[in-house]
Amino acid sequence: MKYFSFLLFLSSLFLFSCTERIDLNIKDSDAVLVVEANITNDAGPYKVKLSKTINFDLPNAFPTVSNAFMVISDDLGNKDTLVESTEKGTYFTQHIQGVEGRTYSLSIDAEGKSYLASCSMPVVVKLDSIFVQAIAGPGGGPGAGPQMTIFNVFQDPAALGNSYQTAQIVNGTMQEDLSLFNDDNVNGNKVTIPYFGQKAKLVPGDSVIMELRSLSKTSYDYYNTLDEISSGGGGGQAASPQNPTTNLSGGALGYFAAYSVSRKGIRIK
Amino acid sequence: MQKISLLALFFSLVLGLSAQKPITISGNVKDEKTGELLIGATVTTQELPDLGAFSNDYGFYSLSLPSGTYTFVVQYLGYQDLVQKIELKEPSKMDFKLSTGEVRSDDVIITDVKANDNVTKTQMGAQHLSIQEVNKVPVIFGERDILKTIQLLPGIKGAGEGGSGFYVRGGSADQNLILLDEATVYNASHLLGFFSVFNSDAIKDITVYKGGMPAEYGGRLSSVLDITMKDGNNQKFGAEGGIGLIASRLTLQAPIKKDKGSFIVSGRRTYADVFLKLAPDTNLQKSTLYFYDLNTKINYQFGEKDRVYVSGYFGRDKFGLGSLFGFDWGNKTATVRWNHLINDKMFSNTSLIYTDYNYQIKISLGTQDIKITSGIQDYNAKQDFQYFLNTRNTFKFGANSIYHTFIPGVITAGGEGSNFNSKDFAKKYAWENAVYASHEYKFSNHFNMNYGLRVSAFSLMGPGTFYSYNAAGARTDSTVYASGKIGKTYIYAEPRVAGNWIINDASSVKFSVSRNVQNVHLLSNSAIGTPTDRWIPSSNNVKSGISDQVSVGYFRNFLKDKFEFSVETYYKTLQNQIDYVAGASLFGNEDVEAQLLYGKGRAYGLELYLHKKVGKFTGWISYTLSRTERKFDQINEGKYFAAKQDRTHDVSIVGMYDLSPRLSVAATWVYYTGNAVTLQSGKALINGQVIPYYTERNGYRMPAYHRLDLGVDWKFKQRKNYNSSLNFSVYNAYGRKNAYSIASKEDVDTKLSYLEKTYLFRWVPSVTYNFKF
């Protein structure tokens, strides 16, 4: 439900609003480690990116963190040490294979500090089919007319507590916005849900792949809190914005996510 | 048993002190033209000016004096003083009728009676506003608004543009008890706070208590805003109304039987959405955005001793976006009251009250639709007694019982092949009870005291399941209560003490100490209050909010009471305050209590107030210097931090000037330190997006806010009984771009981050035509 929330409602208020650049004295902050780590049931290798936060007034060039010692392991005792690629701060696994239902751990030793995280990979929820329909609203925001929108159809498992993310790959390019939801209001149903994240207009001939990711509850919380403070996800609406929740110990930002995926493709006519 | 003997001691003490045999005069204070009962009028005599009485919430007064002949003086702001010689030989009934008309020179009688009740009253931290004064203050869209006007008083701060609610002495917005004819109003704002739900045409009287709440009030930590609707003209039919750019209103009142009973009906409707038709976007053209409200009240006097009032309010905001999205919310209140004079010294009021606040959201997605409702409902019974024993002693005591129903959310899904499950989140029930007693005692002409005690009990009621949670927010235990079973109960004693040392006719020093307890809590984690904020009861997890306040003030009148000046200081501590974990989801969520953080708060400040009440020029200056802080173990390393509403300086200047009997001008200027706000101190790159990195809560300040509003009121010549006027106003006259919110942006060329403020309004001119006959 969160997609509709008050953004729509507030948009009417902001019809009358304007913006202007202002200067406020922003304090310096100590750099902390930022971790982006995923493991899925797709074939490896899996990527982990390490970077650091910077002060607000610096240009958007984020220092990477090299020479970290990282191990991903699962609850069956499989272990894999990551290797840094030629791209600084980007590391890849060597042999470990993500399997649905297993729990994964990530340990990081970087710049003299240690960080730990663990995450369970939920069982795959199969994307049954996808279809295209022009609808008003969600696809293009409240202002836009009817937009070609992709609908995902899948069967939510009977037990409550499934969390999902849908991603869209248009002509081979992963779109920036992921659409996040859970089964609070649709538990156990055959679900038909539009992809709300779509920004680019779809045109005939486009090849579209939809990806349904099954997330753990803690991963959902992470993406949800990340959405709240990022400009695309309604940033600025929270009374007191906070850093996203994390499963990393040791004071790092970011997240280690283990999720399972299912895909379907379609060509726009 | 112990209580009874204490009470006996109490009475014997008091009775022993009243040696002479006084004679009681009692009755009502009324408006001569409309019969409207006047609240808080002073009734005194020239002969014994230190012995006086105030008319109560129902216009009733009772004064006991030694037998003799007295020159009675009855005063009420905005009315002529009434002076009347009365011989008191036996207990008498006397209704005083005050007139608002022009003062004729031969009527002027020089009296020794001073208009200094602000100095002599024991109550402090309270402000009484006359509706005439409120009506002159310029406001946005030209809609007179009591909620906006009280925010110009010291110690009361508005939530700012686009924000609903107000903050009193460092409290949160949900810590204000807003009463309309005794019924709690849970959401007092329309259209995101640009209007209040109170239609000033239907309002008679407003009193706001910022501290030292009398014992008859309870249930909220910060303040009481007690609003009384007009009773209706019981002399003749009258109509008044106004036509404005975005709102119109109409009020009708008439006697049911002259002098015995009357009714009033007042309605208001906005049409803000007509402007949306001008929008370039087709969806917005189909949008609706308006509210309406309806106030009604009937009263009837049965015999000499009984009067019955029935009053109600109904208001609704409606917002719609084509056929895609519909959203409406509003309050309903109903109050039935019975005033009964047990004897000429003892006044009783019995009230039955119903309150309902709810909202509804409708979403249509192709063939599917979904409807969400949520709200809160109260049934409330109240019994109050006032005993005017003699001029030195007044007692108040009573009891109150409220049954709350909290409706966290009902989801109704419809349409073919709906994705959504219909769901009814478990309702919560609670029973809130209180008894109170207070004694106002005049030790001497120089020292008054009012001390009282309120004992409140709050119980969760079955049916319901209540969970306990571990630190990670997972359920660890549950308790199930059957229907009608009493669950977790909180009982608190709330002492309320106030004293007034009257130095002389023009100055006094007052103090008050009070404890308040609150058991309903508003959850709101958006930057501004929204209609979907959720009320929850105290429970096994959420503890009763407690506030303790001490305040001391100096009150001084100048130039024959033309100027009132006061300085008040306060120190307040708050316990069991609520904050939220990151990403807390409030709607429906049965485990919402697992997402709350509990902490404490403190607030202190200095309030200066200078008010000129009478003359061609009226108005006030108020200044507040204050600090408001909160402390949570999980936030800012457990250190005190500035609360959002912490504003170091807050200034309001209000001036109204009658240029001629027909032309008056008014101006308001406000200035305050920007709210405390959380801004990023750093940034990170995640998924290719630059996201903010926060290092502390509320570590920054919004830019200072200031604004000037201007108003002109031109009265047309009276034709027979028809009066009309034209009111022009300009909100934000010098067009300051006050920041509503601050967000970070990235410069496309330099790739550097910068901050950008959003501001809502620059100049908002408006014109309203008002009429009355």
* pLDDT, tens only, B326-337: 888 999 999 999
Tell me the pLDDT band of B484, cut-offs 50, 70 and 90.
Answer: confident
Asked whether the predicted pLDDT for residue A11 surpasses 80, the reply is no
CB contact under 8 A, A53 and B694: no
What is the C-alpha separation between B326 and B329, in angstroms, rounded?
10
Residue A105: pLDDT band with limits 50, 70, 90: very high
Residue B635 reports pLDDT greater than 70: yes
Specify whether the CB–CB gap between B673 and B662 falls below 8 A.
no
What does pLDDT average to over chain B?
86
Interface of B with A in 189-248 (CB under 8 A): 192
Q: What ipTM was estimated for this complex? A: 0.88
Q: Does A73 touch chain B (CB under 8 A)?
A: no
- The residue among B350, B110, B73 whose CA lies nearest residue B63 is B73
Cβ <8 Å between B758 and A28: no
Chain A residue with Cα closest to B281: A143
Which residue in chain A is spatially nearest to B361 when comparing CA positions? A5
Contact list, A254 vs chain B (CB under 8 Å): 684, 686
Q: How confident is the model at residue B109 (pLDDT cuts 50, 70, 90)?
A: very low
pLDDT of residue B58: 87
Q: Which residues of A2-12 are buried (b: 16+ CB within 10 A; e: fewer)?
A: bbbbbebbbbb
Q: How confident is the model at residue B288 (pLDDT cuts 50, 70, 90)?
A: confident
CA distance A191 to chain B (A): 5
pLDDT in tens, B368-420: 788 888 899 999 999 999 998 888 888 999 999 999 999 988 888 876 666 67
Report residue A226: phi and psi, to 5°.
Answer: -70, -45
Contacts of A13 in chain B (CB under 8 A): 162, 192, 760
Which among B421, B532, B689 has the least Cβ separation from residue A189? B421
Which of A219-233, B68-82, B400-414 shows the lowest per-residue confidence on average (mean pLDDT)?
Answer: A219-233
3-state secondary structure of B141: helix
Candidates B456, B633, B419, B596; CA nearest to B522 is: B596
Among A1, A163, A220, the strongest candidate for a mutation testing the B interface, having the largest count of B CBs within 10 A, is: A1
Taking 90 as the threshold, does the pLDDT of residue A74 lie above it?
yes
Cβ within 8 Å, pair B697-A240: yes
A8: enclosing H helix or E strand = helix A5-14
Mean pLDDT of B686-698: 89
Residue B706 has pLDDT above 70, yes or no: yes
> Does the structure show a pLDDT above 90 at A186?
no
| Residue of B167, B327, B687, B697 best to disrupt the A interface, most CBs of A under 10 A | B687
> Percent of chain B scored above 70 by pLDDT?
91
Residue B747: pLDDT over 60: yes
Q: Provide the 10 A C-beta neighbour count for residue B686.
A: 20
Q: In chain A, what residues touch B679 (CB-CB under 8 Å)? A: 24, 26
Which comes out higher in pLDDT, residue B235 or B286?
A: B235
Query: CB distance B756–A17 less than 8 Å?
Result: no
User: What's the mean pLDDT in B613-630?
Assistant: 91
Closest CA to A19 of B554, B755, B250, B458: B755
* pLDDT of the residue at B281: 64
Q: How confident is the model at residue B45 (pLDDT cuts 50, 70, 90)?
A: confident
Q: pLDDT confidence of B5, banded at 50, 70, 90?
A: low
Q: Do A225 and B530 touch (CB under 8 A)?
A: no
Q: What is the pLDDT of residues B112-121, one digit of tens each?
A: 556 677 777 7
pTM of this structure: 0.86
A14: which chain B residues are within 8 Å (Cβ-Cβ)? 758
Return the residue of B nearest to A194 by Cα: B365
Chain A residues whose CB is inside 8 A of the B584 CB are none
Structural tokens at position B339: 């005033």
Residue in A52, A58, A236 closest to B741 by CB: A236
Mean pLDDT of B692-707: 91
The beta-carbon neighbor of B695 closest among A29, A189, A235 is A29
**Chain B within 8 Å of A242 (Cβ-Cβ)?**
yes
| Inter-chain touch B750–A17, beta carbons under 8 Å | no
For residue A19, the chain B residues in CB contact (below 8 A) are 756-759
Check whether the bond before B463 is cis (ω within 30° of 0): yes
Taking only residues 41 to 100 of chain B, the set having a beta carbon closer than 8 angstroms to any beta carbon of chain A reads: none
Bridge partner residues of B212 (DSSP): none
Helix (H) or strand (E) holding B150: helix B146-150
